[in-house]
Amino acid sequence: MPFVTVDDGARIYYKDWGIDGSPVVLGHGWPLNSDAWEAAALFLAEHGHRAVAHDRRGHGRSSQTWHGNEMDTYADDLATVIETLDLSDITLVGHSTGGGEAVRYLARHGSARVARLVLVSAVPPYMLRADDNPDGIPAEVFDALRSGELADRSQLYRDLADGPFFNHDRAPVDQGFRDAFWAQSLGCGHRAAYECIAAFSATDFRPDLAAIDVPTLVIHGDADQIVPLDVGGRRTAELVDGAVLSVYEGGAHGLPDTSRERLHDDLLAFVEGRPSRTNTQFRPPSTTKDGKGTP
């Protein structure tokens, strides 16, 4: 299996599908791994693009390190993957926690290699309720998540898969999606999963978002029960200059599974700078960050 080794010796697993087109780098949610993006990666590779997806440290097949289970290190690991593969003109895509990872990467490493950003059900700008973030989610919610992780994480992942991740109380969701969520989640290291709860909930990405200088598409379901639209996508779109917000009506948190066709078409259209076939809200940015027009 392919790995890159980062500065502290951790090994980061990655997939690299397709070889000719412009690269799309896909970051996954907690506590999943790059398999969560395999349908999108296959779709993009079959449509002429290079799809790269990595397992965040502590998750999936990457090293289960004791240290570094926080956003700065996640972003630095992503930078090592990008630099080792010598990727450029990247469309950087992040789902949920992967969205925070992508935003922190841009803040720490700049956009020299990145042409576009897509945030899907993403955790920025700031999930935790605070004096300067009164509409955030109360700390007790994340404390309960940590307690569930310590008490019986297998059951916690079952409950998430059968409940809020896919909005299973609102519409039937295939058993296969729920089983895949549970299986991937158990592949995450226990400490990594525990520490990552703090990373995605208590990291303030507002300064990072203010520095984003690439065309940005924000995709969020208006029925997201993990990261509510008004906590995540809508506020992010307000903070990123020129960002386009696409709201999926009735959309759950797990959009890569529950809204595959629409999401895949939107990703492909954004990468190729053309209108989406399935999403009338989506429009491509008129220029790239250097003002040369969409490729």
Pairing relation of β-strands 3-5 and 11-17?
antiparallel
Q: Is 224 a catalytic residue?
A: yes
Residue 41: both structure tokens together? 């990666």
CA distance 24 to 30: 20
Residue with tokens 């000719």: 20
Bridge partners, 14 (sequence order) = 54
Residues with Cβ within 8 Å of 222's Cβ and at least 6 positions away in sequence, in order, are 229, 247, 248, 249, 250, 251
List 96, 111, 246, 276, catalytic entry: 96
List 77, 224, 257, 266, catalytic entry: 224
CA distance 28 to 37: 7
Q: Would you say 31 and 188 are in contact if contact means Cβ atoms under 8 Å apart?
A: yes
Q: Is 253 a catalytic residue?
A: yes
Residues with Cβ within 8 Å of 24's Cβ and at least 6 positions away in sequence, in order, are 41, 44, 49, 50, 51, 52, 90, 91, 93, 267, 271
Q: Is 96 a catalytic residue?
A: yes
Q: Among 23, 39, 29, 33, which Cα is nearest to 1's? A: 33
Prior bond of 134 cis (ω within 30°): no
List 253, 257, 259, 264, catalytic entry: 253
CA distance 86 to 142: 37
Lateral strand order in the sheet of 3-5: 3-5, 11-17, 50-54, 23-27, 90-95, 114-120, 216-221, 244-248
Question: Catalytic residue numbers?
Answer: 96, 224, 253
